[in-house]
Structure 1
Amino acid sequence: MLPDTPSVSQLSQVISQAAAPAFLLGALAAFIAVLISRLNRIIDRSIYLNQISDQDQARCRLKADLPRLARRATMINRAIFWSIIGSISISIVIVVGFVSAFFHIQHERGVAILFIVSVVAFIVSLVDFAREVRIALSELDHYG
């Protein structure tokens, strides 16, 4: 048997509590878009460098950049992974808030843990992103 539906005031409270996680979810979505854009640029550059013939002595030296691009792609891939983990956990926070209001369940500890997981995943993602940017800026591209 289903419990009584939540009152308008309960739903209003849950919606107001879901606002902060929703903003974090929006920030994570925008951050993932930035990461994917950077990954696409790295992949495009790698494809371009791989198409250079070994007989082309003038441009063959540019292939020395491939290992660095592979490291950058790995870091961006990890950053995307952790951003998605953060997005999933923050989405679960929002769902748990509404489900717990519907079933009149205490949810504070679970929501707090999920929120911490989400923020930690976001921090790990930011660290990977910072490492990738550092590699991108510290070792000059061999454009020619």
Structure 2
Amino acid sequence: MFDFLPDTTRLAQIFAQATAPTFFLGAVAGFVSLMASRLSGVMERARALNAIAEDDHARVHLKSDLERLRRRARFLNSGILAALRGGLCSTLLLAVLFVTEFIGLKYAYGAGLLFVIATGFLGFALFRFAQEARISLSEIDEQQ
């Protein structure tokens, strides 16, 4: 029969095992916040450029930067979604750790696989962030 009431030693072991996924989840949250902030700035800049009238000959050339801003927004959006998927895997990992410990099942392969998947998603998000950072600075950004 399943032992649904773990003793304090077993509970301490569960919490110790949950430390790494919890820190991972915190890192994902911070990273998503950073990318969302950058995406907000990109979208504000795109809106400002789209608001330039076609007959404003002194500033209409700034609209040529819209395609670069769209690429940045796509990279950031893709990175945010990947990081969130990694966060979901980490959250699922935490649930698996607790549920399987409470009912006494073995979870080593499943937990390891979930952590590898979560890390893969976060790695892809970092790659997208690097792509966005590479194209983020331009001389045209300094102009209004």
* TM-score category, normalised to shorter length: over 0.9
Corresponding residue for residue 105 of structure 2: 105
Question: Offset at 1:140?
Answer: 3.2
- 2:68 is equivalent to residue 64 of structure 1: no
Instruction: Give ranges in structure 1 of 5+ residues lacking alignment.
Output: none
**Counterpart residue identity of residue 118, structure 2:** S
User: Which position in structure 2 is the counterpart of 1:95?
Assistant: 95
Task: Give the Cα–Cα distance (whole angstroms) in 1 for the partners of residues 86 and 94 of structure 2.
Answer: 13
Q: 3-12 or 25-34: which moved more?
A: 3-12
Residue 10 of structure 1: how far off its partner (Å): 1.0
Scaled by the length of structure 1, the TM-score of the pair is 0.95
Q: Structure 1, residues 3-35: CA drift from partner, whole Å, max 9, x if none?
A: 432221111101001011101110110000000
Task: Give the secondary-structure state (helix, strand or coil) at the position aligned to 1:136.
Answer: coil
Over the matched positions of the two proteins, sequence identity in percent amounts to 35
Amino acid corresponding to residue 40 of structure 1 in structure 2: S
Q: Secondary structure at the match of 2:139?
A: coil
Q: Normalization by structure 2: what TM-score?
A: 0.95
The one-letter code matched in structure 2 to 1:23 is F
- Over 2 Å off, 4+ runs: 1-4, 139-142
**Any idea what the Cα deviations from partners look like across 1:57-90, whole Å, max 9, x if unmatched?**
0000000000000000000000000000000000
- In the alignment, structure 2 segments of 5+ residues that lack a partner are none
Identify the residue that residue 19 of structure 1 maps to in structure 2: 19
State the shift of 1:129 in Å: 0.2
Larger mean CA deviation between 105-114 and 6-15 belongs to: 6-15
Q: By how many angstroms is 1:141 displaced?
A: 2.6
Asked if the contact 2:2/2:104 (under 8 Å) is kept, the reply is: no
1:134 aligns with 2:120: no
Inter-partner Cα distance in structure 2 for 1:4 and 1:128: 43
Q: How does 1:27-46 map to 2 (within 5 A)?
A: 27-46=27-46
Take 1:48 and 1:87, find their aligned partners in 2: how far apart are those partners?
33
Residue 2 of structure 1 deviates from its aligned partner by 6.2
